[in-house]
Amino acid sequence: MEPIYLLTTLDQNYLPQLQVALTSLWVNHPQDSFALALLHSGIPEEALDGVRRQCEAYQYEFMPVRVDDGLFQGAPVTRQYPKEMYYRLLAPHLLPRELRRVLYLDPDVLIINSIRPLWETDLKGNLFAAAAHTGRTELASGVNQLRLGTEQAYYNSGVLLMDLEAGRREIVPQDIFRYVEQHRKELILPDQDVLNALYGSRILPLEDALWNYDARNYSSYLVRSGGRCNLRWVMEHTAILHFCGKEKPWKPKYIRRFGILYQHYAQLTRRAWGIPI
């Protein structure tokens, strides 16, 4: 069975959260093999040692890729728009050409059921597959459609199945840089806004309750599903729990429902790898 190729982009501060995500992946995929690509702008090699040792222990391939700053000559780069925001959309041009598809994951996730069905999803000619968050965020989705001049749902960029071969043909870096330059005053979540504005019509919709569950929205999922999507259902069916927003479960004052589950995997990671989380 072929490995599942994963991608993430982050700075050094998020390495502990990446290790928690890897722990949850390993616990819930005993029969699968993975390869992890990490796009970064200069994390020291010694800082990557923890992730490297963890991947070696799990028999995952680890592919850290330091991105050449020269690729961003002429790109709008400021404190609000750091060059790292471009990495996931430009992944087709930054990853080895032999890779045909990759599953991008933000590091603030837990993987609690199999993601192989997502990995094997037929993209039907689209560049990406992604989920639009339902429930409380649907009003925001409508506002974002108006703000960006789009008609489709507003997709979250934290979980993206990507066709790299199609992306190499169709995603032009200068198109992205030009859009950011022309619309920088309107962009709120820059990389997510660009994804929706430029490529929203080339995204295959995914069910968020399965593949990109917004951990803030338990009550909304429960009501919309007529009570079906309760805690037991989430634990049995949801593959990816995404801790969206500013409140994060590794912070001391986090009080939302899935915080204790995150702490479980954090504790497993602390025991195995001795890292503070």
Predicted pLDDT at 85: 79
Encoded tokens for 53 = 């040792």
SS3 10: coil
Question: What's the pLDDT score for residue 51?
Answer: 98
Alpha helices in 5-90 (DSSP H): 15-27, 49-58
pLDDT at residue 141, rounded to an integer:
53
- pLDDT value of residue 139: 45
What averages of pLDDT result for each successive group of 10 residues across the chain (277 residues)? Answer: 94 96 98 97 95 98 92 72 84 96 98 98 98 65 50 88 98 91 78 91 97 96 95 98 95 94 97 86
Side chain identity at residue 92, one-letter code: P
Annotate 146-181 with b (16+ C-beta within 10 A) or e (fewer).
ebbebeebbbbbbbbbbbbebbeeebebeebbebbe
Residues 6+ apart with CB under 8 A from 165: 92, 100, 101
Per-residue pLDDT, 166: 98
262 to each of 64, 142, 195, 243, 247, how far by Cα in Å? 25, 31, 28, 9, 13
pLDDT at 191: 83
Directed axis angle between helix 49-58 and helix 259-273, to 10°? 90
Contact status, residue 47 vs residue 15, Cβ threshold 8 Å: yes
Kindly give the pairing relationship between strand 61-66 and strand 34-40. Answer: parallel
pLDDT at residue 146, rounded to an integer? 47
Strand-pairing partners, residue 181, are: none
